[in-house]
Amino acid sequence: MALLEVSNLDVRFALRQGEVRALRDVSFTLDRGERLGIVGESGAGKSVAAFTLLNLIAKPGYIAGGSIRFEGSDLARMSSRELRRVRGNRISMIFQDPMMTLNPVLSIGEQMVESLKAHRRISTQEARAIALHKLKQVYIPSPETRLDQYPHELSGGMRQRIIIAIALLLDPDIIVADEPTTALDVTIQAEIMTLLRELCEKHNVGLVLITHDLGVVSQMTQRTLVMYAGRVIEQGPTREIINDAQHPYTQGLLNALPQMTTPGSRLNQIPGSMPSLSNTPSGCAFHPRCQYRYDATGQPRRDCLDQVPEFVTSGNCQVACHMVRDMLAKEAS
Amino acid sequence: MNAVATQASPATPTSSATDSLLEIRGLYKHFPLAEGFLEQLRFEKGRLVRRNDSVHAINGVDLAVRRGEALCVVGESGCGKSTVARLVMGLLSPSAGEIRYDGHRIDDLRGKRLLPYRQRMQMIFQNPYASLNPRMTIQQTLEEPLRFHHPEWTTPQIHDKVAEVMASVGIDPEWGKRFGHEFSGGQRQRIAIARALAVDPEFIVADEPISALDVSIQAQVLNLLMDAQAERHLTYLFITHDLAVVEHFGTRVAVMYLGTVCELADTRSLFARPRHPYTQALLSAIPRLEDNRPEHVRLSGEVPTPVHLPSGCVFHGRCPHVTERCRQEVPQLIATDDGNRVACHGVEEGRL
pLDDT of chain B along its 352 residues, tens only?
Answer: 344 443 344 444 444 445 899 999 999 999 988 777 887 888 888 888 887 788 999 999 999 999 999 999 999 888 899 999 999 999 999 999 999 999 999 988 888 888 889 999 999 998 888 889 999 999 999 999 999 999 999 999 999 999 999 998 888 888 889 998 888 888 899 999 999 999 999 999 999 998 888 888 889 999 999 999 999 999 999 999 888 889 999 999 999 999 999 999 999 999 999 999 999 999 888 877 765 555 667 777 777 888 888 899 999 999 999 999 999 999 999 998 888 999 999 999 988 8
Structural domains of chain A sorted by starting position, each given as residue range(s) with its CATH number in brackets: 4-228 (3.40.50.300), 245-261+281-332 (no CATH)
**Comparing C-alpha atoms, which of A19, A267, A331 is closest to residue B223?**
A267
Instruction: Point out which residues pair with A156 in neighbouring strands.
Output: none
Neighbour count for residue A45 (Cβ, 10 Å): 25
Q: Are A71 and A244 in contact (CB under 8 A)?
A: no
Q: Is B245 on the interface with A (CB under 8 A)?
A: yes
A14: helix, strand or coil: strand
- Chain A, 190 to 209: residues with Cβ < 8 Å from chain B are 190-191, 193-194
Structural domains of chain B sorted by starting position, each given as residue range(s) with its CATH number in brackets: 3-349 (3.40.50.300)
Q: Is A186 on the interface with B (CB under 8 A)?
A: yes
Q: Is A278 on the interface with B (CB under 8 A)?
A: no
The strand pair at B235-240 and B70-74 is best described as: parallel
Q: How deeply is B209 buried, as exposed, middle or buried, from its count of CB atoms within 10 A (0-12, 13-18, 19+)?
A: buried
Q: What share of chain A is helix, strand, coil (3-state, %, to 5)?
A: 40, 25, 35
Interface predicted TM-score (ipTM) over 0.85: no
The strand pair at B235-240 and B54-66 is best described as: unpaired
Q: What share of chain B is helix, strand, coil (3-state, %, to 5)?
A: 35, 25, 40
CB-based burial, A242-265: b 16+ in 10 Å, e otherwise: beebbbbbbbbbbbbbbbeeeeee
Chain CA centroid to CA B328, Å: 28
Q: Is A151 on the interface with B (CB under 8 A)?
A: no
Task: Flag if B219 and A270 touch (Cβ within 8 Å).
Answer: yes
CB-based burial, B98-107: b 16+ in 10 Å, e otherwise: ebbbbeeebb
B240: helix, strand or coil: strand
Q: How deeply is B338 buried, as exposed, middle or buried, from its count of CB atoms within 10 A (0-12, 13-18, 19+)?
A: exposed
Q: Looking at beta carbons, which residues of chain A come within 8 Å of B228? A: none
**Comparing C-alpha atoms, which of A215, A206, A247, A209 is closest to residue A229?**
A247
